[in-house]
Amino acid sequence: MAKTLAALAAVAAAGCGSTSAGSGVSAVPIASTTATGSLQQQFVSVVQAVSPSVVQIRSGHALGSGIVVDARGDVVTNAHVVGSATRLIVTLATGDSHPATVVGTDRANDLALIRFTGGRPRPATFADSSQLQVGDIALAIGNPLGLRSSVTQGIVSAVGRSVSEGNGVTLSSVIQTSAAVNPGNSGGALVDLSGRVIGIPTLSALDPQMGGGEAPGIGFAIDSNTVRQVAAALAGGR
């Protein structure tokens, strides 16, 4: 999974100076920090709203992420996070863990639906991914390397990409993002500044010039419209 972030930073500068009684010269700020503070608070608000809907999934020795999609405890994630497991452990943002079972998988789209009993975190809200534009700010929320509820930020770098997972599965119409996607982020949430899920981070680009290592700042997410459609089909097929 793509594991680097082309970080988006907002910087505001302020002028400073002094005046003497007879100079008649006054200093004024050359830039305001209001916009920066407003954007920062928006990031904080989105993370606080969405993080409770993002869970950690343990499948054997593997760790991944998932998104709560309804009040029954259904969670959508990547099929490769679930693997061949039939029983899993879901850990909420609060740290509480619950057993989960597999509802269904769609390996052609690398998506799966699982269900847990116990806690009832708030389901996430999904956006219409057909409305995405290149340059939209995106936050990735998940559990990279087992670090629960971690957040990275970037932008939507491209839409409508087709990428191969290297296992015979080719994903179409995926979102490319510069938000860092690390191992364990798979199945988590890529969200917009309104706190809506726009995609599920799934994999990263590999750079042959780096010996097959991950290319910085190039991650891919399955778009939210595909996620919603597949999750609904899997839930209805139980």
90 and 152, same domain (yes or no):
no
CA distance 135 to 192: 11
Please indicate, yes or no, whether residues 118 and 129 belong to a single structural domain of this protein.
no
Same domain? For 94 and 139 the reply is no
Cα–Cα distance for residue pair 76/188, rounded to 1 Å = 9
Cβ atoms of residues 221 and 175 within 8 Å: yes
Cα–Cα dist 55/142, whole Å: 7
Q: pLDDT of 77-131, one tens digit each?
A: 999 999 999 889 999 999 999 999 999 999 999 999 999 988 888 999 999 999 9
Structure tokens at 193: 């500044």
The tally of domains found in the chain comes to 2
Instruction: Find residue 91's DSSP bridge partners.
Output: 56, 97
Residue 62, pLDDT > 80, answer yes
Residues 169 and 146 in one domain: yes
Together in a domain, 70 and 94: yes
Within-domain flag for 7: no
Structural domain of residue 102, as residue ranges? 52-122+231-236
Collapsed DSSP state (helix, strand, coil) of residue 62: strand
Lowest mean pLDDT: which of 9-18, 124-133, 164-173?
9-18
Domain assignment present for residue 13? The answer is no
Predicted confidence band at 167 (pLDDT cuts at 50, 70, 90)? confident
pLDDT of residue 189: 98
The answer as to whether 46 is a domain residue is: no
How many CB atoms are located within 10 Å of the residue 95 CB?
A: 9
pTM (whole model) above 0.85 = no
Q: What is each CA distance from 189 to 24, 178, 208, 217, in whole angstroms?
A: 55, 14, 28, 17
* 213 and 130 part of one domain: yes
Q: Which residues are marked as active site?
A: 80, 110, 186
Are 224 and 69 spatial neighbours (Cβ–Cβ below 8 Å)?
Answer: no
For the stretch 187-237, pLDDT in tens is: 999 999 999 999 999 998 877 665 666 777 899 999 999 999 999 999 986
Q: Which domain CATH number covers 92?
A: 2.40.10.10
**pLDDT grade, residue 150 (50/70/90)?**
very high
- Same domain for 131 and 188, yes or no, is yes
